[in-house]
Structure 1
């Protein structure tokens, strides 16, 4: 299937259930926790030309996706800390497409894989010690003009983790890139 909507959203668009329960939250935290390992395992045998292959026509390369996840999740960790220490802070949006054109997005992926591993270790340490009240804390996102609870944001970044991991995995399937055994 090469439908552009599927290529953009291989696991579907993010939808948050405001009535999510403790089980769905724990599943979201586990997804965030396991992303670094899954991402490293997925890309560890890719060649340089494969890393520089876009996951869809007009889309980012695998390399850019990995660097984007590092930057995006770094921002997420900072936003969590702001919301946990301030009353409904206004976060700073950033132009993801412009960031993807910066020179560091051409660097080797090991830098961002290490960054993702470290960010997720810190982030999960916070997530696993948050109370129910902590997950109800909010930040204000000026692009959407709404306050978002950290409960919603945790679910959104679990989706974001799977979303970009799936971009890479689906490309590998379409291109029939096999993973060699060490």
Structure 2
């Protein structure tokens, strides 16, 4: 198994179906519960274990998810309220080394829960026109539609849950 991409790399959708959008929305809704379930069973030693060689620890992954999904939620709101907003990028690798990423994970679990509750309330009411609204991401040449970002963050949550599962299952083996 590829520990870096245990569920495979993200594949950018060129279009989407209503069923895919429903699943992505459900993934956003259920992610905080799944994250809490899997991390609740981990010891401090497991939280401080990298999911792969030269990878982040589970603790860093949880804090990263809070940072990343907070930025994603803000980007959604910008794209829904502005025409083709230029979004701000950030260096996630450097963010993962800041002192707040050594804190207990409870603060980030609460953040994820609150962000996802609001994000779900927002996206479940979006229509097809909304999902085609775009943002200007400086790292990509093409406009980024919200349906692509919804698919990305559905994948992102599942991707990092799989990283945490690697540590949880390695310790049980």
Normalising by structure 1, what TM-score? 0.92
Shift of 1:18: 2.1
RMSD: 1.0
**Between Structure 1 and Structure 2, how many residues are aligned?**
173
What pairs up with 1:35-114 in 2 under 5 angstroms? 35-114=31-110
CA distance in 2, matches of 1:46, 1:25: 32
Give the match for residue 128 of structure 2: 132
CA distance in 2, matches of 1:45, 1:164: 16
Match of 1:163, SS state, is: helix
Match of 2:136, SS state, is: strand
Give the match for residue 32 of structure 1: 28
Give unmatched runs, 5+ long, in structure 1.
178-182
For each residue in 1:60-89, what CA deviation from the matched residue of structure 2 results, as whole angstroms up to 9, or x when unmatched? 000000000000000000000000000010
8 Å CA contact 2:42–2:168 kept in 1: the answer is: no
CA distance in 2, matches of 1:79, 1:44: 29
CA distance in 1, matches of 2:126, 2:57: 35
8 Å CA contact 2:46–2:167 kept in 1: the answer is: no
Give the match for residue 173 of structure 1: 169
Shift of 1:176: 1.9
For each residue in 1:102-130, what CA deviation from the matched residue of structure 2 results, as whole angstroms up to 9, or x when unmatched? 01000010000000000000000000011
Runs of 4 or more above 6 Å deviation:
none
Normalising by structure 2, what TM-score? 0.97
CA distance in 2, matches of 1:45, 1:127: 30
CA distance in 2, matches of 1:19, 1:135: 11
